[in-house]
Amino acid sequence: MTKTILTVDDSRTMRDMLHLALTEAGFRVVQAVDGLDGLEALDKAQADIIITDINMPRLDGFGFIEGVRGNEKHRATPILVLTTESDAAKKQRARDAGATGWIVKPFNPDKLIDAIRRVAA
């Protein structure tokens, strides 16, 4: 069964790169442009895994993660943070909000797919 991944990132280039890497690996991809858009898309998409950026307009990744975890239906959905940030305090804040893992951009597509397969198992 094909897994659906929701990607949330305000960068069109990053969304395009994620879409290419994930569809080539056999995943169905739904995209959102920021945290608010991501919360709206999540209700329609039935995502199995979420990949989100941290720095976005309207609602950042921390707020998005908290919003996802606040919804009983998505409380256990794996969330990978994919960001340029590498600050330990921000990683901890994301973990505290409910993130499953943290990957620093630029990403290696093979390592990203491996991480997705690990959290999706």
**Domain residue limits, the chain:** 4-120
pLDDT for the residue numbered 85 = 85
Of the CATH numbers 3.40.50.720, 3.30.70.250, 3.40.50.2300, 3.30.460.80, which one belongs to the domain with range 4-120? Answer: 3.40.50.2300
pLDDT for the residue numbered 19 = 97
Average pLDDT by stretches of 10, the chain with 121 residues: 93 96 96 97 92 96 97 94 92 96 92 92 71
CB atoms within 10 A of CB 69: 16
pLDDT for the residue numbered 43 = 84
Structure tokens at 19: 């879409």
Query: For tokens 């997705």, what's the residue?
Result: 116
pTM of the model: 0.95
pLDDT for the residue numbered 86 = 86
